[in-house]
A and B are shown apart, each in its own frame.
Chain A
């Protein structure tokens, strides 16, 4: 019984700045939900409102069915992991983890049992006597998680917990967090600006932008079926290419007129969907992984065009090439076996089954 419900949540700061503009979100019991978005999108504010660290201007937050708007953080039965760990510097690891239980007057042996159990899950049993300053960043992060686990709360809240770690440790701790969640199964709300973290950890990802929710969905769903241009551009790395195009209905078939006199046919499966938009300016969106060199593809629905790479970035497992189409930068991921060099034209193949058309005015994916 620990679902979290946000209903029409608004956060307005003094001076009328709205950080969160009326969001609705239902988080199920045991679910791992990641709030992701660029800085200033309201994701941290939302998390802090769930924690009770930030007052709600209007709307309603319920945890486990109980409205918590006016309940102080300590009575919400939540635990939070902060970006800078927020360990108490004068306490040992053991005291840090047991602090919440001590304040709640748990018996000593129960505290010991819980701390040792959490220490075993996180593999920090040998650090219990140390002070935080004698720990590495990754160890501190584990202790911060341990402090949350021992409380056995209804909800875990993570506020960018991996941002202070180096890249290698971040990947390692990401796996660790997922493992912990699979063990304790506590409902989790996790905030990050890193879409890779969001994709890898979440049962459901909530993409936020400028105080509103752009889209909620499973990672694969967001990747394959983004609802807006923002989500399409935010999820996936390198980001999706957006090329200005014009949708024309000619000789009974829909065509996209791209810059550089490139004309691509709309695949038959999409004709019906896009037909109402014929004659309009659109954005043609396609991910770099769906743009390849023509000889290296076996996809059925491809369209080919000529492009001249201007920048070539060999990555080992793939080669990224960048070219420009009337001001729009386009990136493609090529098989490293394909010989490419800047300035030498290539025949590119676009996998049109993976394309998206976006209304440039509303930003909606058509």
Chain B
């Protein structure tokens, strides 16, 4: 107390800190951000780059240990041509597309209706059900595939693509429902009341108000469902045995590895082409997704 009153007004207290400059701080922040991002990009783009390089090599060049594995000496599209013209790769691709589209559609219908009911129509046990939905998401798929095997076998769907359309939603619906419950819960209650008074029934309220308003959330849920069903490996591995029923993830592995012979060039080419659809989906939907998010954030 007394020390402070003595120095006040007499001499300026010495500065023990560096006086900052907004410009300089901003420059350092940018440098830091770029450095961190560069590390990140290198780390995550190295495997795809290696895949691309390998997919452009002939089998002979891949087997040749003398050269630099990161460089292609005589690039060829032979691996791609063979994949697309011989074998079942195209069938696998189409199978994946069919399963994924069906699963995304089924998932969205179920989870939008479920989330609407759980977040808006208060009924006996609705809170418990909402928690229950999330709990089912926590059960690991490795635990589920044994009982599911029984069910699928009982339905006569073993080694049938349809089984995937039936099973995948057990992985996607709980999480997407959870996302949608959160989104619907953030829509003000007065909006449904206004719609009710304006003359909407529950279905119109969902279709004309909830779905358009929650579109960013619905897109996020769709991206999730798409990713899960496109990349699912365990269930097709367990339930599909004949090549023409297989989806990409297991098709590549089972068709292009014969015993201990790995057709690396084709495996890499197949995996790269398999990664293209998710890439496209993210590239296009992310724009809408982010636009929706920021629109929500700046709403006055």
Contacts and interface: CB of A to CB of B under 8 A. Distances in A.
A103 B200 contact: yes
A179 interface: no
B299 interface: yes
Contact of B193 (A53, A88, A103, A151): A53
A106 to B, nearest CB: 10
A74 B190 contact: no
Nearest to B215: A90
Contacts of A51: 193, 197
Given A133-B299, A133-B300, A88 B199 contact: no
B199 A74 contact: yes
B135 interface: no
A204 B160 CA distance: 73
Given A74-B200, A103-B200, A133-B299, A86 B212 contact: no
Contact of B199 (A80, A87, A103): A103
A79 interface: yes
Interface residues of A, number: 24
Interface in A84-136: 84, 86-90, 99-100, 103-104, 133
B193 A80 contact: yes
Nearest to A132: B299
A202 interface: no
B193 to A, nearest CB: 5
Interface string A215-244: 000000000000000000000000000000
B271 to A, nearest CB: 40
Contacts of B204: 103
B188 A86 contact: yes
A76 B215 CA distance: 31
B63 interface: no
Contact of A73 (B196, B212, B299): B196
B299 A89 contact: yes
B209 interface: yes
Contacts of A82: 190, 193-194
B90 interface: no
A160 to B, nearest CB: 11
A340 interface: no
Interface in B168-220: 188, 190-191, 193-201, 204, 208-209, 212-213, 215
A99 B295 contact: no
Most buried by B among A51, A87, A89, A147: A89
Given A74-B198, A80-B193, 4 more contacts: A51-B197, A72-B196, A74-B196, A147-B198
Interface of B: 188, 190-191, 193-201, 204, 208-209, 212-213, 215, 295, 298-300
| 10 pairs of A and B residues whose beta carbons are closest in the complex | A100-B198, A86-B190, A86-B194, A74-B199, A103-B199, A90-B212, A82-B190, A73-B196, A73-B197, A133-B299
Interface of A: 51-53, 72-74, 78-80, 82-84, 86-90, 99-100, 103-104, 133, 147, 151
7 contacts: A52-B197, A53-B196, A86-B193, A88-B209, A89-B213, A103-B199, A147-B198
